[in-house]
Amino acid sequence: MSQLRESFKGGKAVFTAPVFPIKCGGAPQKIMYLSEETFRKNGVRDETDIHYYTNPGVLFPPCPKYNDALVPIAAAKGVNFHKQHNLESVDGANRQATMKNLATGELVTVDFDLLHIVPPQTAPKFVSESPLAAANGYLDVNHNTLRHNKFANVWGIGDICNLPTSKTAAAVFTQAPVLVD
């Protein structure tokens, strides 16, 4: 990605965030902000139209504190924020992405000169296709105890768990005391 953003000469730059949960809620934005700074440094920011399409209705779920801090930053950097949009398909030859507006169901065709996609993330098949999985494919654990909801001898921690947290080391750090206690 660094070569692409360094050689970018302006146009429409589109960045996406997938359906949550993802490993790092900030990762899709980090590359966007790094790219914006590179465009500025290389003198092409004024010729660049930046768009951020995200599945959730906020810039940074699940943390309102970070979301509230990022909204004015994105606005100050001239980022066009499109909430509740999911990337459905890409036509690379024609440089078009199709987004689904989750609020209306409408399919929107978006032209791009640079497209950065963060793919959806899933649990490994050995969990998602087993009786251990919740409906979303992640390990079905109690949110308070991390014990499996059906199998009392199974406990979970980290990325594999169906928890309302991001899939990061910081999340594991907060989960660990539950299992140790």
Dump pLDDT digits (tens) for 121-175.
Answer: 889 999 999 999 999 999 999 999 999 999 999 999 998 999 887 777 778 888 8
Which residues form the domain of 105?
2-116
126 in the same domain as 99: no
Dihedral sign (CA 138, 139, 140, 144): negative
109 in the same domain as 58: yes
23 in the same domain as 70: yes
Of all residues in the chain, the percent with pLDDT exceeding 70 is 98
107 in the same domain as 69: yes
130 in the same domain as 107: no
Provide the number of structural domains found in the chain: 2
181 in the same domain as 150: yes
CA–CA separation, 133 and 162 (whole Å): 8
**CA distances for 8 relative to 53, 77, 114, angstroms:** 20, 18, 8
Burial class (CB in 10 A: 0-12, 13-18, 19+), 56: middle
pLDDT band at 180 (very low <50, low <70, confident <90, very high): confident
At 124, give phi and psi (nearest 5°). Answer: -60, 150
Domain final residue pick, 116, 133, 164 = 116
pLDDT band at 181 (very low <50, low <70, confident <90, very high): low
Domain final residue pick, 116, 133, 166 = 116
166 in the same domain as 142: yes
pTM score of the predicted model? 0.81
Q: What is the CATH number of the domain that holds 28?
A: 3.50.50.60
What pLDDT, on the 0 to 100 scale, is given for residue 62? 67
135 in the same domain as 106: no
CA–CA separation, 178 and 94 (whole Å): 50
At 34, give phi and psi (nearest 5°). Answer: -65, -40
Dump pLDDT digits (tens) for 55-108.
Answer: 888 887 767 888 889 899 999 999 999 999 999 999 999 999 999 999 999 999
108 in the same domain as 24: yes
What pLDDT, on the 0 to 100 scale, is given for residue 4? 84
What pLDDT, on the 0 to 100 scale, is given for residue 60? 78
- Asked if residue 21 has pLDDT above 80, the reply is no
